[in-house]
């Protein structure tokens, strides 16, 4: 009966058209959902909320505009900027920034936190990479969801890529798609391409707010040599050294590397060169990003366990240990938070006249034992 129906071209065409419309509608719903921002709840320590376009007005109304949370103490002191989501699929930085926004309280000085530095990159995934669009965390108030995203600005927002990307300030040539890489385009250009305007806004924030120290949170695949490591501009090397000692004393292994002077466009180089802020970048181990990984599921993103990486570790192919426990998201975010604490301790030791005093940052061991749930707030309804 169906076969006889489909023999007629007009009817067959109508059926194919209907099927196409169903598929396109489903894809459109998914596409629209990717542009829905995940909720971030301002905790009691947040004193000011604004958008990044406050610093470069040309970002206003664009998908690059992103929330900035300021936590200011009653006593004057120094200011630290914390960047998450410069590379959106490196989700430990996002989660550490969210935990700071929702929990930390500042008694002296200021913290400025941008959880989704490249908000555009949170609005898509690359189909051939097989990434999930989001992951969920259970909390006492119900599940909280967060976006995974991709490394670069969404090509819908900046297109086309040049055949060769030339870093504007230094002339360093890079592959064309790096024009959409927020961490290859510092210090940016307020009148330039989409991503460069975003870079310029972060630099302008640093200057206008007199930021003293910047910590940019990243992740890398386990076979990458720069991992569980701080990369520090030469101006920040002393404070990063003290932070590394503090982490080692707590049993948190962290290496330290100087920022290469010939590797351009990165935060740890260009922030240090173009502002007075001390610039440090941190890397943790994310198995969901690597070439050896198996199925890229939300379980891999959150749990950080992968049998392929266990085998690779046994063959000596990795730069970090990798057991059946893996590198869970909670341990990676906890490592970033502990690094923030130790960078602040190092800064305070060097600058006793301009302290940053912060409380209620979730403790490393407590996070490992209790998970994210107790430290994520209920999302207001309506």
Cis link prior to 188 (omega < 30° from 0)?
Answer: no
By CB neighbour count within 10 A (0-12 exposed, 13-18 middle, 19+ buried), where does 354 fall?
middle
Per-residue model confidence (pLDDT) at position 316? 94
What one-character DSSP code corresponds to residue 8? S
Class of 42-375 per CATH?
alpha beta
What is the tens place of the pLDDT at every residue in 267-320?
999 999 999 999 999 999 999 999 999 999 999 999 999 999 999 999 999 999
pLDDT of 204-215, one tens digit each?
A: 999 999 999 999
Q: What is the pTM of this model?
A: 0.93
Q: For residue 136, how many other CB atoms are within 10 A of its CB?
A: 12
The model's pLDDT over 154-186, given as tens digits with 9 standing for 90+, comes to 999 999 999 999 999 999 999 999 999 999 999
What would the pLDDT profile of 93-134 be if each residue is shown by its tens digit? 999 999 999 999 999 999 999 999 999 999 999 888 888 999
Confidence of residue 1 (pLDDT cuts 50, 70, 90): low
pLDDT of res. 35: 73
Q: Scan for tokens 């060169």, then name that residue.
A: 273
* Confidence label for 20 from pLDDT (cuts 50, 70 and 90): low
- Look at residue 81 and tell me whether its pLDDT is greater than 70: yes
Tell me the pLDDT tens digit for each residue of 217-250. 999 999 999 999 999 999 999 999 999 999 999 9
Instruction: Say what percent of the chain tops pLDDT 90.
Output: 87
Domain borders along the chain are 1-34, 42-375
């Amino acid at each position: 009966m169906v076969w006889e129906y489909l023999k007629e071209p007009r009817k067959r065409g109508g059926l194919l058209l209907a099927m196409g419309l169903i598929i396109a509608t489903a894809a459109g719903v998914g596409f629209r959902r990717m542009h829905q921002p995940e909720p971030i709840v301002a905790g009691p320590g947040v004193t000011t909320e604004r958008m990044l376009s406050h610093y470069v007005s040309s970002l206003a109304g664009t998908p690059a505009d992103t929330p900035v949370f300021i936590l200011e103490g009653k006593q004057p002191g120094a200011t630290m900027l914390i960047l998450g989501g410069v590379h959106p699929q490196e989700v430990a930085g996002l989660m550490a920034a969210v935990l700071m926004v929702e929990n930390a309280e500042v008694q002296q000085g200021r913290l400025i936190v941008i959880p989704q530095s490249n908000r555009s990159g949170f609005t898509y995934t690359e189909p051939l990479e097989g990434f999930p669009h989001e992951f969920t965390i259970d909390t006492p108030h119900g599940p909280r969801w967060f976006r995974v995203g991709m490394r670069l600005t969404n090509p819908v927002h900046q297109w086309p890529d040049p055949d060769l990307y030339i870093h504007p300030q230094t002339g360093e040539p890079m592959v064309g798609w790096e024009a959409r890489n927020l961490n290859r385009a510092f210090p940016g250009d307020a009148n330039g391409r989409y991503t460069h305007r975003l870079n310029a806004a972060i630099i302008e924030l640093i200057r206008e707010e007199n930021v003293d120290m910047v910590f940019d949170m990243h992740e890398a695949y386990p076979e990458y040599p720069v991992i569980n490591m701080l990369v520090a501009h030469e101006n920040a090397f002393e404070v990063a050294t003290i932070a590394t000692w503090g982490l080692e004393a707590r049993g948190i292994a962290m290496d330290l590397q100087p920022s290469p002077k010939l590797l351009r466009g990165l935060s740890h180089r260009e922030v240090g060169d173009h502002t007075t802020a001390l610039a440090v970048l941190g890397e943790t181990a994310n198995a969901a990003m690597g070439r050896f990984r198996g199925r890229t599921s939300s379980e891999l993103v959150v749990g950080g366990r992968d049998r392929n990486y266990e085998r690779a570790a046994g063959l000596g192919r990795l730069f970090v240990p990798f057991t059946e426990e893996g590198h869970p998201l909670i341990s990676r975010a906890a490592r970033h938070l502990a690094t923030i604490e130790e960078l602040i301790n190092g800064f305070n030791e060097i600058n006793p006249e301009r302290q940053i005093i912060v409380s209620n940052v979730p403790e490393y061991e407590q996070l490992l034992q209790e998970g994210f749930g107790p430290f994520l707030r209920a999302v207001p309804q309506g």
